[in-house]
Chains A and B, each alone.
Chain A
Amino acid sequence: MLDQQRDYVLRTVEERGVRLVRLWFTDVLGNLKSFAISPAELENALSDGMTFDGSAIDGFSRVQEADVLAMPDANTFEVLPWGDSKSVEARVFCDIHNLDGTPFEGDPRQVLRRNLGAARDQGYSFYVAPDIEFFYFAPPEKGQAPVPLDEGGFFDLTTTDVSGTLRKETIRTLETMSIPVEYSFHEDAPSQHEIDLRHTDALTMADSVMTFRLVVKEVAAKHGVHATFMPKPLEGVQGSGMHMHFSLFKGDTNAFYSEDDAYSLSPIAKQFMAGLLHHAAELTAVTNQTVNSYKRLVPGFEAPVHISWARNNRSGLIRVPVAKRGNPSATRIEYRSPDPACNPYLAMSVILAAGLRGIAEGYELPPEADANLFEMDDSALIKLGIDTLPQSLSDSLKVMERSALVQEALGEHIFEWFLRNKRNEWRSYKTHVSQFEFDRYLRAL
């Protein structure tokens, strides 16, 4: 690390009277983890890292090799905009290392770094811009269905005021934390909102998504509201997705753009898309990692079901947004299956790996599917060669465990742990007897 960067952090801590520095990192499931150190320890932490017991973290070390090292990434050091001025806090994202200094294979941030390194070796920078959806609810009671804010009565203010205020405050907080917002709006479902972030390089964006989820929840909690990124919290209305817009740049040039193509897509873009489509089923467990994720991926709610692409068809898995004329750098593709409950580091890793595989192997992009696929029956789809995404977490895991691509992208450690953990999740879901079954069978059978 540059001396000057370290000095910058240390001086800022001193000048701003920072009392506590939070070291942030992410577990395999995508939960933000944190431990706090006093400013006195920061200098040491920046140069040598902080040792902690990794076996306490989901998906990290096995017990016999428990200790790992958190190395702060001084570039991500920021004063936190909440809390009072008397006890200023700051955060810094960490890379996790083994005690011998090698990257720790259980750390999702290191996994993304490794995959981005592979892209960089080929001259590419990977840019990502997510559109993140979420719901505001009254604080949930255990065992009760969620209550949207829009359904009146919860606040004295009118509902637009409440959610408008929350969203405005959220955006202001995001901007002060170096996360620029492009658009934001109330979504179709009651109490559902969407905030679209401006593109950045993938590592910065994965960090930003982690910060984003915390900020949305913090701001809501301050107002007595519960924000959730659960993919499908309400039956019968849209779920929450995290569509991701991607492009690859070579230096200053968008490698996805071509002047000569009807869709402005370069051969590289098409091969990337082909790779993504070809491996989509294998990635789905990572981009949609909960039992609940699959209740969003159903026809009729603007979520993708079929493995297809199109320019303007929102039932497809990949959409090619029409970039503004004369703006080559805006040419991009939108991958529509991920949901905001995924681990952004791992999701971006497998997506990038699939796209790069498409480029390396020169995969051919299937024809555009511009008809509404939801209206077609199975035989018509089979004739078009269009498959569907896995229909459940269990199906996804079955495809994933046979995927050499996902195994390589995630690394052995995370691949094995993820499969084990998620199979357990599926098992506990499978043994649960639901209200649906009581309603349907108890009296009838």
Chain B
Amino acid sequence: MSTGPTHDMLAVYPESPPIDLARTLDLAGHRWKAVASAAEAAGHEPAQGWAGAVVACDGDPEGAWAFCGALRRRENAVQPLLVLISGAQMADLELRHDLFDDFCITPCHPVEIETRLRHLLARGGGNVRPDVVSYNSLVLNLETYQATIGGTPLDLTYMEYELLKFLAQNPGKVFTRETLLSRVWGYEYYGGARTVDVHVRRLRAKLGEEHANFIETVRSVGYRFGQSRWSA
């Protein structure tokens, strides 16, 4: 393992992880701590930070993905992050590429979990989250939360920034309003589904007339940022 002894503690979710997972981690000699929430992960975090996280999604997928999201959104994002999902949950992986580094389909052989984990840890933190997202003349600096277009700062509200970031990270893909709501706003939005339209309208105004078409309306589906990957 490439990590030193002071930086080898894994965070494991949920608080009572599947027994097979616990055994696999123990047999492979990992040091780990099971936590019930992102807040608890922060509370129990070793001084050197978590070496990575293993998240079992099959019990409470919503809680598990929220946990992944929270770990990734922190100032020092936790990585690598291995998720365990059931075959029926494969679809959940779509659109969540930023929330995990690798996955195993359960049930799976302990060797598989261990091998994938070792690969991830050996690679080191890796650069799964680029600090800068750019498209055409639009640049988003994820570290400083600043957006510019043609070098001019864009003054965005927090949710406008989050929506633009999500879209710009997934150019060419079509998203429904529901997907955008659940991915950008999370489950606690209260403006209703039209909130997405309102924010898209605001973003277009702020991007300015010549760039307003960065966000395209896909009739009776939702929105797409930038060119479809099928067009020239």
Q: Which residues of A contact B (CB under 8 A)?
A: 3-5, 7-9, 11-12, 15-16, 74-79, 81, 116, 120, 125, 127, 175-176, 178, 180, 198-201, 204, 249, 251-252, 329
Contact indicator B73/A125 (Cβ below 8 Å): no
A4 and B73 within 8 A (CB): yes
| Residues in chain A near residue B74, CB distance under 8 A | 3
Q: In whole angstroms, how far apart are the Cα atoms of A424 and B28 in the complex?
A: 79
Given contacts A8-B145, A75-B159, contact A175 B205 (CB under 8 A): yes
Known interface pairs A8-B161, A176-B206; A199-B144 also in contact (CB < 8 Å): no
Residue of A nearest to B153 (CB): A16
The residue in chain A whose Cβ has the minimal distance to the Cβ of B191 is A201
B191–A77 contact, CB under 8 A?
no
Residue pair B145, A15 in contact (C-beta under 8 Å): yes
Task: Scan residues 152-189 of chain B and give those whose CB is less than 8 A from a CB of chain A.
Answer: 153, 155, 157-161, 177-178
Whether A178 lies near B145 (C-beta < 8 A) is: no
**What residues on B are CB-neighbors of A201 within 8 Å?**
190-192, 194-195, 198
Question: A15-B144, A16-B153, A81-B155 known; A125 and B205 CB under 8 Å?
Answer: no
A76 touches B205 (CB 8 A): no
Contacting residues, chain A, for B205 (C-beta < 8 A): 175-176, 180
B192: chain A residues within 8 A (beta carbon): 125, 127, 201, 249, 251-252
> Judging by beta carbons under 8 Å apart, are B194 and A75 in contact?
no
Query: Which residues of B sit under 8 angstroms from A178, Cβ to Cβ?
Result: 157, 160, 202, 206
CA distance A4 to B192 in the complex (A): 22
Task: Given A7-B75, A252-B192, output 10 extra A-B contacts at Cβ < 8 Å.
Answer: A3-B75, A7-B145, A12-B146, A78-B157, A127-B194, A178-B160, A180-B198, A201-B191, A201-B198, A329-B194
Residue of A79, A81, A178, A249 with highest tally of chain B CB at under 10 A: A178
16 A-B pairs, CB-CB below 8 angstroms?
A11-B144, A12-B145, A15-B146, A16-B153, A76-B157, A78-B155, A127-B192, A175-B202, A175-B205, A176-B206, A178-B206, A180-B202, A201-B192, A201-B198, A249-B194, A252-B177
- Check A75–B157 contact: CB distance below 8 A: yes
Question: Is B155 within 8 A of A125, CB to CB?
Answer: no
Q: Which residues, 80 to 138 on B, are CB-close (under 8 Å) to A?
A: none
- B144 and A204 form a contact (CB under 8 A): no
Q: How far is the CA of A252 from the CA of B205 in the complex (A)?
A: 24
How close is B155's CB to chain A, nearest CB, in angstroms? 4
Once the chains are docked, how many angstroms separate the CA of A11 from the CA of B155? 12
Tell whether B201 is near chain A: CB-to-CB under 8 Å. yes
Give 1 or 0 for each of B55-78: 1 = CB within 8 Å of chain A CB: 000000000000000000111000
When A and B form their complex, what is the total count of cross-chain residue pairs whose Cβ atoms lie within 8 Å?
80
Task: Please name all residues of chain B whose beta carbon is closer than 8 Å to the beta carbon of A204 when the two chains form the complex.
Answer: 191, 198
Bound: A204/B198 CA distance, A: 10
* Contacts A127-B194, A175-B206; A75 near B158 (Cβ below 8 A): yes
Please give, as numbers and ranges, the residues of chain B lying within 8 Å of A329 by CB-CB distance.
194
Contacting residues, chain A, for B161 (C-beta < 8 A): 8
B158 near A11: Cβ-Cβ < 8 Å: no
Query: What is the CA–CA distance of A74 and B144 in the complex, to the nearest angstrom?
Result: 17
- Min Cβ gap A103→B in Å is 16
CB distance from A16 to the nearest CB of B (A): 7
Q: What CA separation (Å) do A7 and B161 show in the bound complex?
A: 13
Q: Tell me, in angstroms, the Cα distance from A9 to B157 when the chains sit together.
A: 9
Please give the distance in Å from B221's CB to the nearest CB on chain A.
Answer: 13
Q: For the complex of A and B, list the 9 residue pairs with the smallest distance between their C-beta atoms, beginning with the closest.
A: A125-B192, A175-B205, A252-B193, A201-B191, A79-B155, A11-B145, A8-B158, A178-B202, A180-B201
Contact B145 A199 (CB under 8 A): no
Instruction: Digitize B140-154: 1 where CB-to-A-CB distance is under 8 Å, 0 elsewhere.
Output: 000011100000010
Are B191 and A198 within 8 A (Cβ)? no
Which chain B positions have C-beta within 8 A of A127? 192, 194
Alpha-carbon separation in the docked complex, A22 to B68 (Å): 35
Residues of B within 8 A of A77 (CB): 157-158
Identity of the chain B residue whose Cβ is nearest the Cβ of A254 in the assembled complex: B194
B48 → A minimal CB distance (Å): 21
Q: A7-B75, A15-B144, A125-B190 are in contact. Are A199 and B198 (CB under 8 A)?
A: yes
Which residue of chain A is the closest to B188 with respect to CB atoms?
A: A2
A78 contact set on B, CB distance < 8 A: 155, 157
Which residues of the partner chain A approach B191 to less than 8 Å between Cβ atoms?
125, 200-201, 204
A439 CA to B118 CA in the complex, in Å? 95
Give the chain A neighbours of B177 by CB distance below 8 A: 252
Shortest Cβ distance from residue A241 to the other chain B in the assembled complex, whole angstroms: 24
- The interface residues of chain A lying within 8 Å CB-to-CB of B158 are 5, 8-9, 74-75, 77
Give the distance to chain B from A181, nearest Cβ to Cβ, in Å. Answer: 9
B137 CB to nearest chain A CB (Å): 18
